[in-house]
């Protein structure tokens, strides 16, 4: 893409039309000249995708244009469902943050139209009440929140996210693996009720040894 007046290659795309043959309306960043250009982007190619949903994953594919760039945490449309890219492997077998489709071997992705599943452990001095809840991915848990879960009230004292243990602050549900809470007789009011979000009812388990 070269400006037809000054020859600069720094242009802004104002409009883009068509798929295999794209008609672009461009504006030169140097002199402001507006011009049209037709670019051949080639036929879409099929790229392998391994997509996960909770603990299971399956293989599928997605059709993309070879000169399209994909990046880590970008969102793909997989048969009508949005999925976030969690890893890109190029044809040399390396993991990269960004690559043009023509160099990509496999994409790993996670569906993001499903709620987040978060484990909850409430510690009764060694006896652990363990539950899983399904909440909106963007739901925020904050250390210190008082939560109702069935007939239990507990206060959040720690959280494990995908990469760290937190003892203060807040995090969104989709990065949280587990929330740790303590019950308390002094707890009367709660910030939110997750009772209806429980999706798997475990029994009370004694997972801790006597302390
Ligand atoms: Zn120009």
Q: What does the pLDDT look like over 42-67, one tens digit per residue?
A: 788 999 999 998 878 999 999 998 88
Encode pLDDT of 61-104 as tens digits. Answer: 999 988 889 999 999 999 899 999 999 999 999 999 999 999 99
Domain span including residue 182: 116-200
| Cα 27 to ligand 1 centre (Å) | 8
Question: In 3D, which of 136, 145, 141, 191 has the Cα closest to residue 170?
Answer: 141
Final residue before a domain boundary, out of 78, 93, 111 = 111
Residue 205 domain flag: no
- Point out the domain boundary residue: 111, 130, 160: 111
Q: Higher-confidence residue: 207 or 130?
A: 130
Q: Which residues surround ligand 1, an ion (CB under 5 A)?
A: 3, 5-6, 8, 28, 30-31, 33
The verdict on 93 and 66 lying in the same domain is: yes
Q: DSSP states of 114-161 as a string?
A: S-EEEEEEEEETTEEEEEEEEE-TT-EEETT-EEEETTEEEEEEEEEE
Say whether both 196 and 121 belong to one domain: yes
Q: Which of the two residues, 39 and 122, has the higher pLDDT score?
A: 122
The answer to whether residues 194 and 121 belong to one domain is yes
∠ CA 146-118-113, nearest 5°, is: 120
Residues 123 and 156 in one domain: yes
Q: Residue 149 — pLDDT band, cuts 50, 70, 90? A: very high
pTM metric for this prediction: 0.59
Task: Indicate whether 188 and 125 sit together in one domain.
Answer: yes
Co-location of 140 and 104 in the same domain: no
CA diameter of the chain: 80
The proportion of the chain whose per-residue pLDDT surpasses 90, expressed as a percent, equals: 69
In a domain, 5, yes or no: no
Q: Considering the chain, what is the average pLDDT of its residues?
A: 89
- According to the model, what pLDDT value does residue 140 have? 97
pLDDT at position 41 = 67
Residue 102's nearest CA partner among 65, 134, 151, 73 is 65
The domain tally of the chain equals 3
Give the position of tokens 């069935």: 150
Expressed in angstroms and rounded, the spacing between residue 41 Cα and the centre of ligand 1 is: 23
Please give the pLDDT value at position 210.
37
Asked, for residue 23, whether it belongs to a domain, the answer is yes
Residue 123 and residue 151 in one domain: yes
| Domain identity same for 187 and 121 | yes
pLDDT digits over 172-211, tens only? 998 999 999 999 888 889 999 999 999 875 544 444 433 3
- Could you give the residue ranges of the DSSP H alpha helices within the chain? none
Q: Kindly state whether residues 125 and 193 are assigned to the same domain.
A: yes
- What are the angstrom distances between the C-alpha of 138 and each of 113, 149, 201? 11, 19, 23
Ligand 1 center to 168 CA (angstroms):
53
């Amino acid at each position: 893409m070269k400006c037809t007046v000054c020859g600069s290659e720094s242009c802004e795309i104002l409009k883009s039309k068509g798929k295999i043959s794209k008609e672009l309306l461009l504006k030169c960043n140097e002199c402001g000249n507006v011009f049209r250009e037709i670019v051949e982007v080639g036929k879409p190619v099929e790229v392998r995708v391994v997509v996960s949903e909770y603990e299971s994953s399956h293989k599928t594919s997605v059709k993309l244009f070879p000169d399209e760039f994909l990046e880590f945490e970008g969102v793909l449309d997989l048969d009508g469902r949005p999925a976030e890219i969690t890893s890109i492997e190029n044809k040399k077998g390396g993991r990269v943050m960004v690559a043009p489709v023509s160099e990509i071997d496999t994409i790993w992705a996670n569906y993001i139209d499903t709620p987040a599943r978060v484990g909850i452990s409430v510690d009764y001095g060694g006896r652990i009440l363990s539950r899983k809840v399904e909440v909106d991915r963007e739901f925020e848990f904050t250390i210190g929140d008082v939560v109702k879960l069935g007939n239990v009230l507990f206060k959040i004292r720690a959280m494990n996210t995908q990469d760290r243990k937190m003892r203060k602050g807040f995090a969104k549900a989709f990065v949280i693996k587990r929330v740790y809470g303590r019950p308390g007789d002094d707890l009367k009011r709660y910030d939110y009720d997750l009772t209806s979000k429980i999706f798997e009812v475990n029994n009370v388990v004694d997972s801790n040894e006597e302390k």
